[in-house]
Chains A and B, each alone.
Chain A
Amino acid sequence: MWDFEFTLEVMPDLLEGLWITVQATVMGYLIALALGLAIAMVRRVPYAGGVVHAVMEFIRTTPLLVQLVFVFLVAPSTVSGMTIGVVVLGVHYSAYTAEVYRSGIEGVAKGQWEAARALSLPARRTWGAIVLPQAIRKVIPALGNYLIAMFKDTPLLFAIGVAELLTQAQRLGAANFRVVEMYTLVGFLFLIVSIPSAILIRRLERRYAAV
């Protein structure tokens, strides 16, 4: 039988875990957004672009869990698990967001670059005022999907001892012999965050797909 009293009892701890999950996701996502963009731009530079591409291929083809544990083991013990988690999540996902940005940049018509050139615009303006605004607008929905994907991957931080939602649930479930209930609650809490986010992203998609 479902025990509501127990649910209420563990809820504060679970919400605390959820809060950490959300924080890790948001911070990791900000890293992925910024780093991915930088990577997408560097990839257009002859030589350096090839090197960056190879590193990103490597990151994409190895599991996030392995990357998390590896960095956790080699990092100095003064660096917190949360920091490692956020950075590894961010860097891992930047390999994906970079591809998204790249497709957006390639989708900008050649004539836009040529018009910018014909007006003698400096690279800073060509990128900042013309290419990126058009490219990013087109890829906002795809970038949004990675926010949800990242949120769903954040429980992996469990492996390096970050007190996120899954870690909390595991601890409370084991202590009270109510593991199934705990995991049901975890799933429920994830849904509470994911569903509104997904709806929001669909809205963005519709809004930006218009033009």
Chain B
Amino acid sequence: MSKMQINITVNGKKQELLAEPRELLIHVLRERLGVTGPHVGCDTSHCGACTVDMDGKSVKACTVFAAQANGADITTIEGLGGPDGLHVLQQMFKEHHGLQCGFCTPGMITRAYRLLQEIPNPSEEEVRFGMAGNLCRCTGYQNIVKAILAAAAELNAAKEAAQ
């Protein structure tokens, strides 16, 4: 099948590549670009392990064709922290034991990142509802919720301090 040119920005870096239109974004990221943070956990759009941030939305990269993503700006877990250290969410997941096997973690944190953009000061209930597109088989979510709430508090405190 013929390939098409795909131009996407991934974690701030412009990427040009040739791909079949049917290739799934998750495979483009993982296999062509070596961005292996997001994972595949289900194939049927239910687990959220593949979650990335695309044009300001949390999306399941297993349910987006490469062709649809052409032109998109994508942030993955790899784009959240910097060379100088972890993003607050990453720190808080570590601090509050919000992960065990780590397989869901990139998708979780990437989703939580967007959630906190939209609801900077969420209640526990809002976190549980807002994270319901991401499955975890290890943690029972309790510490994930705790980590996200802690990250929200930290980010808000930092914002206040900055003002």
Are A and B genuine complex partners?
Answer: no
Which residues of chain B have a CB within 8 Å of any CB of chain A? none
